[in-house]
Structure 1
Amino acid sequence: MAKLVFSYSHVDEELRNELEKHLMPLKRLGLINTWHDRRIIAGTELHGEINQHFDDADVILLLISPDFINSNYCYDIEVKHALERHAKGEARVVPVILRTCDWHDLPFGKLMATPRDGHPVAKFSHVEDGFYEVVQAIKAVLGELGAGRKSSSSAVSTSSQPATLSSSLGHGPRSSNLGIKKEFSDRDKDIAKREGIQFLSRFFQNSLNEICERNPTLDQDFQQKDADSFEAALYNKGKRVCHCGIWRSGSDMGFGDICYSQSGVSNTSCNDAVSLEDDGIMLGFRSMMGGMVGPGRGSLLTNEGMAEHFWNEFIRPLKF
């Protein structure tokens, strides 16, 4: 059984919890056990405990994000320790790109990262798809390490040795399912809705500029109506071929929290809408009109996933 250790920023704890859920099949198969610093019990000397687990690790996952790189402890201590063991062939270090950041020129940038092409997990339309790729990469690493074929004799001999109360509490087996349902306040939800419409506005502006730059026959028009709404249009040789309005709807309208209409911003109708929901771990958007297709249908969308969903609807006339 291989020992897998997480190096991460606590800002990314929710994403780490999600990744650990996706790793559960490997745990149930007896291929891995996992450790992170939330397992440290009160009164334990932190640095020594973390060092010990890094020294024991077969696989070290660096959960890369702007906050991870910004953390002096993660970057200066944990990354250095991990790469030293990787260079000696004592452990395998795997960078897992959680969120968009400039990581390629950093010391771990020379290592093959996951998901493929360093595509951040948070930018997948459904984060489950991103974590699935991460798990497949870890399975490949385990195959190379021969973790699934390791003899259990070492585990038996270790378990037969007497253990002190301190060591059994600090290093003994325990569940990874330690997360509890998180309550989101109205303020949390209002901020998420506001950030969602702001992200959509930036996403559409940038996408319009890029598609026109790549296709000389196309022109675009973008109008920011107010802080909570905008309209976008594409013209092919002067003829309007794509048009939409996207706006943040009031809760009393019954449409959803963010609405999409091919006719522009409206108070009376829409073609699609998403509502803000939570799964007990994180906030996300869910399509209300059944327009989502594929294995991720029905799951919560990140801001990136919501934007891709609406953009695909917007440019559909250019695709067919």
Structure 2
Amino acid sequence: MLKRQGVIDTWHDRRIGPGENIHAAIDDHINRDQIILLLVSADFIASDYCYDIEMKRAMERHHAKEARVIPVILRACDWNNAPFGELMAVPKDGIPVTRWPDIDEALLQVAKAVRIAAADIASSGASSPAALHSAPAAVRSVPIAAPAVARSSNLRLAKTFTQRDRDQFQLETFEFIARYFENSLSELTARNPGFEGNFRKVDAGRFFATIYKEGKDVARATIYLGDDSFSKGINYIHGQTTGSNSMNESLRVEADEHSLHLLSMGMRSLGLERDKKLSQEGAAELYWSMLVDPLQQGSGW
């Protein structure tokens, strides 16, 4: 809606065209654009270019009142002690997007923060760099249209979810976790010399994930859809098996009055996180952590 109303124009580095100088294009926008979103995760903090170059320059312009920097906390990480830790982050209370049962609600808070920043820019009469946020390409200083009628924004009503809705959500979640693992294993291979990740889809309801170090398997996992005879959830097993009568963790689909979400049995946390509502990405990250945590601690599987 912000783009449709002409409140903002957007840019990100995936819009760099073939033959363009990547660093020059990024530098140009870091030095011109008015609202800069930091998409914060452990990967963002670990990236030398994002953290030491892009973020540093963005914060310089923020302190000089030439740009507005908004940290968007995507995934749980140690961000509070970073230079941008002094800024008000979104979503509310800096709770990571992946921890929200309804991710759309979390992203709506991000959109509202951008709208407020754009309104500040417009009201500042940003015609010079000395204004709080001058008017480069990223944000047009266009007054934000007032609502046509006065009304409450509290319009969400309770929903009822059928068994078909739950089954479909479970299938979609399994496919999401499969893609998440395949992409994560590929990126792990690219970033860690000597390690190799391997993803194998066994059938429509089961896949294997393996991590090798110098050719030796150091982590293996099976993720499969259970059935009525054992557990009709999305199950995780250390190692690789085609059996369906055991698990180290299980996720089941639940619903509240507004949305579908996932709950774990809490086997990994000894029940401490049993009632924690998980989004699809939160569920995928839980299982990914079960695969890689032993390697990060140096113990293997």
Give the TM interval when normalised to the shorter protein. Answer: 0.5 to 0.7
Match of 2:239 among 254, 263, 274: 263
Shift of 1:135: 9.0
Provide the secondary structure at the position in 2 that maps to 1:125. helix
Amino acid at match of 1:188: D
Is the counterpart of residue 127 in structure 1 residue 100 in structure 2?
A: yes
Whose helix proportion is higher, 1 or 2? 1
Question: What is aligned with 1:235?
Answer: 212
Question: What pairs up with 1:198-209 in 2 under 5 angstroms?
Answer: 198-209=175-186
Asked if structure 2 preserves the Cα contact closer than 8 Å seen for 1:292 and 1:298, the reply is: no
Question: What is aligned with 1:79?
Answer: 5
Structure 2 gaps, min length 5:
18-31, 41-70, 76-95, 124-147
Shift of 1:110: 4.7
Distance 2:244 2:183 in 1: 26
Q: Which digits, 9 at most, give the CA deviation of each residue in 1:186-226, with x for residues without a partner?
A: 22222211111111112111211111122221123322111
Question: What is aligned with 2:155?
Answer: 178
Is the counterpart of residue 298 in structure 1 residue 275 in structure 2?
A: yes
Distance 2:74 2:258 in 1: 16
Match of 2:35 among 112, 117, 122: 112
Distance 1:188 1:115 in 2: 35
Asked if structure 2 preserves the Cα contact closer than 8 Å seen for 1:242 and 1:314, the reply is: yes
Asked if structure 2 preserves the Cα contact closer than 8 Å seen for 1:189 and 1:276, the reply is: yes
Asked if structure 2 preserves the Cα contact closer than 8 Å seen for 1:115 and 1:133, the reply is: no
Pair 1:131–1:298, CA change in 2 (3 A) = farther
Runs of 4+, deviation exceeding 3 Å = 102-105, 113-124, 128-145, 290-293, 295-299
Q: CA RMSD in A?
A: 4.4
Amino acid at match of 1:125: T
Asked if structure 1 preserves the Cα contact closer than 8 Å seen for 2:198 and 2:211, the reply is: yes
Pair 1:180–1:251, CA change in 2 (3 A) = farther
Asked if structure 2 preserves the Cα contact closer than 8 Å seen for 1:222 and 1:232, the reply is: yes
Provide the secondary structure at the position in 2 that maps to 1:183. coil
Pair 1:103–1:126, CA change in 2 (3 A) = farther
Pair 1:318–1:304, CA change in 2 (3 A) = same
Question: What pairs up with 1:1-320 in 2 under 5 angstroms?
Answer: 7=1, 62=2, 78-80=4-6, 82-83=7-8, 110=33, 112=35, 116=39, 124-127=97-100, 130=106, 134=110, 137=113, 141=117, 171-172=149-150, 174-253=151-230, 255-265=231-241, 266-289=243-266, 291=268, 298-320=275-297
Shift of 1:133: 7.2
Amino acid at match of 1:258: I
Provide the secondary structure at the position in 2 that maps to 1:178. coil
Asked if structure 1 preserves the Cα contact closer than 8 Å seen for 2:265 and 2:274, the reply is: no
Structure 1 gaps, min length 5:
1-6, 8-61, 63-74, 84-92, 96-101, 148-169
Pair 1:314–1:133, CA change in 2 (3 A) = farther
Shift of 1:302: 2.1
Provide the secondary structure at the position in 1 that maps to 2:35. coil
Pair 1:318–1:132, CA change in 2 (3 A) = farther
Distance 1:127 1:114 in 2: 19
Distance 1:79 1:198 in 2: 35
Asked if structure 2 preserves the Cα contact closer than 8 Å seen for 1:116 and 1:133, the reply is: no
Pair 1:134–1:213, CA change in 2 (3 A) = same
Distance 2:192 2:181 in 1: 16
Distance 1:79 1:121 in 2: 26
Distance 2:157 2:220 in 1: 43
